[in-house]
Homo-oligomer: A and B are copies of this chain.
Amino acid sequence: MTPADPDYERRARDSFARQAVMSTIGAALEAVAPGRAVVTIDHRAELTQQHGFLHAGIVATALDSACGYAAFTLMPADAAVLTVEFKVNLLAPARGPRLRCEAAVTKAGRTISVVDGRAVQLGDDGQESLVATMTATVMTVLGRAGLRH
């Protein structure tokens, strides 16, 4: 996939840095490439649900940002990305210690793009296991002041 703007990585990293919630939950944009993004998040007690696992919504938060920035890398320099909808399937408890959310654009459209993501858990034993999958529909928004970046 070819980025419309060669400067896509800097734009994606700048925008991610402006997502205050990412630093609140300790999520980092580990990697970004044309049509792809990886967001990692460490297990923290203050992000858990009643059984001590990462809350499904926090997994969704990290996955949604990964999906959004994967699509963002292919958009024009003056575009903003908006999530239209997403669906998450929770496959296993997010026990930690670390979750890697990988997203890849499945279809890049002029207005609507579809991105698929997976949250993979890196266990203490070094084994990887799939924790959740997401399909997100995102929109390219052009020329709306206030929504830029």
Q: Are B114 and A91 in contact, CB atoms less than 8 angstroms apart?
A: yes
Of B24, B47, B106, which contacts A130 at CB under 8 A?
Answer: B106
Of B21, B48, B57, B87, which contacts A62 at CB under 8 A?
Answer: B57
**Which secondary structure dominates chain A's binding surface?**
mixed
Copies held by the complex? 4
The stretch from A2-10, A29-37, A131-139 touching chain B is A131-139
Q: Are B57 and A65 in contact, CB atoms less than 8 angstroms apart?
A: yes
Q: Does any Cβ of B come within 8 Å of A85's Cβ?
A: yes
In the bound complex, residues from chain B placing their C-beta under 8 Å from that of A91 are: 106-107, 114
Residue ID in chain B nearest A90 by CB atoms: B83
Of B24, B47, B61, B107, which contacts A60 at CB under 8 A?
Answer: B61
Distance of A141 Cα from B30 Cα, bound (Å):
35
In the bound complex, residues from chain B placing their C-beta under 8 Å from that of A111 are: 111, 139
* A16, A49, A86, A91: most-surrounded residue (chain B CB, <10 A): A49
From known contacts A55-B61, A91-B114, A133-B116, infer whether A149 and B24 are also in contact, taking CB-CB under 8 Å.
no
* Chain B proximity of A130: nearest CB distance (Å): 7
The contact sample of 7 A-B pairs, CB cut-off 8 A, is: A15-B50, A21-B49, A24-B46, A84-B84, A89-B137, A91-B107, A114-B133
Residues of A within 8 A of B (CB): 15-16, 18-21, 23-24, 45-51, 55-58, 60-65, 80, 82-92, 106-107, 111-112, 114, 116, 130, 133, 135, 137, 139, 146-147, 149
